[in-house]
Chains A and B, each alone.
Chain A
Amino acid sequence: MEFTYQLIKFSPPLTESNCIKRLPDNAFIPFDPANQDFVEYNKWLSLGNQPLPPDAEENL
């Protein structure tokens, strides 16, 4: 399966987000270097890819 990724919008005061959304399966991947999915995300970034901006209104 080919994945893309999307940033997550958090509204104040919950401004910090420690994960990225993987599309199309809507998996939430934490920024943990030991998480295998995060490793894959970093490989994807290293190929020059960029995540999509967050939706105006986040929803699961």
Chain B
Amino acid sequence: MPISLNGTTGIQFPDSSLQTAAASPYVLKNRLLNGSFNIAQRGTSFTSGANNDDTYNLDRWYVLSDGNDAVDITQTTTVPTGAKYSIGLDVETANKKFGIAQIIENVNCYDAIGGNVTLSFQAKVSATTKLDNVKCAVIAWSGTADTVTSDIISAWEAEGTNPTLIANATYENTPANLNVTTSWATYSVTANVDTASTANIIVFIWSDVTDTTAGDFLHITNAQLEIGTSATPFERRLYGQELDLCQRYYEIHATGGNSTLYRWYGGTGTEVCTIFPMKVTKRVSPTISGGSITQGNCSGTTFGNITINSYRLQTVVESTGMCFFLFSTSITMSAEL
């Protein structure tokens, strides 16, 4: 069978495969990171407290909601064919709008600004009785590049009315009800990123209803933002590649549980330190959190000299001899936008 060109269906090859849209000319076309929701360095379940409005959860994604604890967030195995995970948004506080967002760093979207981009993803809901209005938006940030106010919502507004955004955040498409059903389907929107002085692109997918019921689920996976006017097949990067890309923004050093031991020998009052390299060079010098330690014969332990590649941990020997400490909790490094 010859190659057939059809203005309606696309290009059909001799093996009967069909190409419905032009192939992307870009290598690594998906400007969203962790669109598959496979990477979960912070954990796989985010409930009260960890699911607060404007808080990161699965790598690179953060929740936006009308108040805290609106939805529990999990990495779920409720997936369409070909996917391993989705993000599950489980209504916890009824009658609140909620969604997920990702801010794309300027160096990863500057070439998309000023032209058309297409956002696509797969989604389903547990029931359409309440979750019957899911929307998505491509949003331009026209403030200082990479200094984005992550809580882009100024007012959530009434059911069906698009949330009002903060200054310097602009919808680049006109968000409308996608009519998401209880079956997996792919949804896409195309937007022209034409707001003057756009420096970053933000993707936002949300439930726009205010009469939800606890236990309602919205599942999303295979999220992709690409240059052009067509939604092409989801780009599934290898796990290690995706993890590396995510670790530019967040990384865990030591896993806690006293599993990592450091020992020194020194005289009384001797200051000892260790430089710890990061696995991946960070976007900016990261904020270091969670460093709770168990220590012996040392005190004054603290962090310093945090750079995009390393940080220093120093302590003071209390009396001549060996001193040690163990990380009793994980140390995390965040360089998120």
Contact = CB atoms under 8 A, between A and B. Distances in A.
B132 to A, nearest CB: 34
A8 B304 contact: yes
A57 B285 contact: no
Interface centre among A10, A22, A37, A60 (most CB of B within 10 A): A60
A46 to B, nearest CB: 14
A34 B303 contact: no
Given A34-B284, A35-B335, A11 B271 contact: yes
A57 B336 CA distance: 31
Contact of A11 (B284, B300, B337): B300
Contacts of B301: 58-60
A31 B287 CA distance: 10
A37 B316 CA distance: 28
A12 B269 CA distance: 11
Given A27-B289, A35-B285, A59 B299 contact: yes
Interface string A7-48: 011111110111100100111111110111101000000000
Contacts of A37: 287, 334
B147 A39 contact: yes
A24 B113 CA distance: 39
Interface of A: 8-14, 16-19, 22, 25-32, 34-37, 39, 57-60
